[in-house]
Amino acid sequence: MFADLKHLSHHAAWRRQLEMLLEAAGEGIYGIDLRGRCIFINSAGADMLGYTPDEVVGRNMHYLIHHSHADRQLMPVHDCRIFKAFRDGRGERADDEVLWRRDGSCFDAQYASYPIRNEQEIVGAVVTFSDITSRKRIERELHSTQALLERRVGERTAELSAAHESLRRLSSHLSTLREEERAHIARNIHDDLGASFTALQLDLNWLRRQLSAAPELQTHLDRMLEVTQTAMGATRRILNDLRPVVLDHLGLWAALEALLQDLQTRGGLLCRYLCPPDTESLRLDRNAEIAIYRIVQELLTNVQRHARARSVSVSAVCGPDGLVLTVEDDGVGMQLPEDRHTFGILGMRERARAIGGDLALDSAPGAGMRARLRLNPLAA
C-alpha cells in the first residue's frame, strides 16, 4: 500500500480515507519532498514502474524514474520539469517525455507536477502520471498515414496538374490548327468559288445584253443574277466567319468594329463600340488577336440567338491592370450554371487562359449579361 503517511496527518481515519482515495485513482500518483525524495506513491503508480510502494518511498524520483530521455541521453536534474514544481512554485505538465521502469525499459508518459504548500511555504510536490504508449503509437501511426496520404495526394495532384497542362496545350494546339484550317478553307473558297461566281456573273450580264430583245429570257436571267449575287453574299459571309479579312489586314480593333456593324445590319440590334485611341494603337500578337476576336464573336452570336436583347455594347480599355474587354447586353439574362463548365463557356475560358487572360461572366434572369475578358499587362 503506502509508506508511512504520519507526517501528513496523525488522524488515522483521515489518513485511511486519503489512502483509499489515492488507491482508487486509475493513474499513478506520488509525492516528493524538497529533496526530490518520494514521500508516498499509490499502488497503480508503483505497478506501472515495476516496484512496490515500499521500494519507492524515500528514493530520489528523478534518479529512479526520470533520469534519461527516450534516446537514453541523461537528463540533468536541473532540467527536470517535475522538480520545477517545488523549485519555481508553479505547475508543470508534459506529454513528450518518458519514465523508466525497474527493468530498464521506458514508456511514454504524461504527467503533471504541482507544488504542495503548507500555508505559504512550499514543502514538496504531488505528481500524477499515466502510460500513454498506446496513444503515442496511434499518433505516430496516424502521422505516418497522414504523411503517406499527403504524399500520395501530392503525387496525384502533380499528375492531374501535368495532365491538365497537357490538355491545355493540346487545346491551344487544336485551336491553332482550327484557325489554320479555317484560313486554308477560306483561301480555297475565295480562289475557286469567288473566281467562278465572278465569271458567272460576268457571263450572265453579257447574255442579258445579248438577249435584250427577248423579255422572257431577260426575266430568267435577272433571277439567275439575283441568285448569283445572293450566293456571292453568302460566300462572303462564310469567308468572313471562317477568317475575317479585316482582322488580317487592319487588326483586332477594326475587326471588332466590323463585327458589330455586321451584327447591327443583319440582326437589327443597336450596337455600341468603345475603343479609346490609346487602346486602338495597341497591337497584340497574332494568336491573342485571333483568340479575342473568337471570344467576342461567340459572345455576340449568343446575344443574337438567345438574349432577345435590344442593344449590345463592346468596350476595350487598356489600363495599369491590363487590357479589359467588356461585352454587355440588355437582354433577358440567364441563370449561370453553378459549375460554369458548359462547353461554350469552357471553350471561351480556355481560349482566354491560352493567352494569359481570364473571362468572367455575370448574369441573372431579367438582368442581361456582362462578360469581362481581362488580360494582364504582360499578356497585353
Per residue in 15-24, pLDDT (tens digit) is 676 777 777 7
Position 2 scores a pLDDT of 44
Alpha-carbon distance of 333 to 308, in angstroms, equals 9
Position 82 scores a pLDDT of 96
Q: Which fold has domain 12-131?
A: Beta-Lactamase (3.30.450)
b/e map of 68-91 (b: 16 or more CB within 10 Å)?
A: eeeeeeeeeeeebbbbbbbbeeee
Alpha-carbon distance of 120 to 377, in angstroms, equals 72
Residue segments in the chain with a per-residue pLDDT below the cut of 50: 1-6, 8-9
Grid look-up 436571267 returns 221
Residue 254 burial (10 A CB sphere; 0-12, 13-18, 19+):
middle
CB-based contact 319:357 (threshold 8 Å): no
Grid look-up 533520469 returns 67
The predicted model scores a pTM of 0.51
Position 244 scores a pLDDT of 76
Distances (CA, A) of 58 to 127, 128, 191: 15, 18, 110
Amino acid at 279: T
Architecture of domain 246-380: 2-Layer Sandwich (3.30)
Q: Please give the full DSSP string across 181-248, using - where no structure is assigned.
A: HHHHHHHHIIIIIIHHHHHHHHHHHHHHHHTTT-HHHHHHHHHHHHHHHHHHHHHHHHHHHHS-HHHH
Percent of the chain topping pLDDT 70: 87
C-alpha cell at 49: 514502474
What pLDDT digit, counting tens, does each position of 244-255 carry? 778 888 889 999
What pLDDT digit, counting tens, does each position of 159-200 carry? 888 887 777 777 767 777 776 776 667 666 666 676 777 777
Position 45 scores a pLDDT of 95
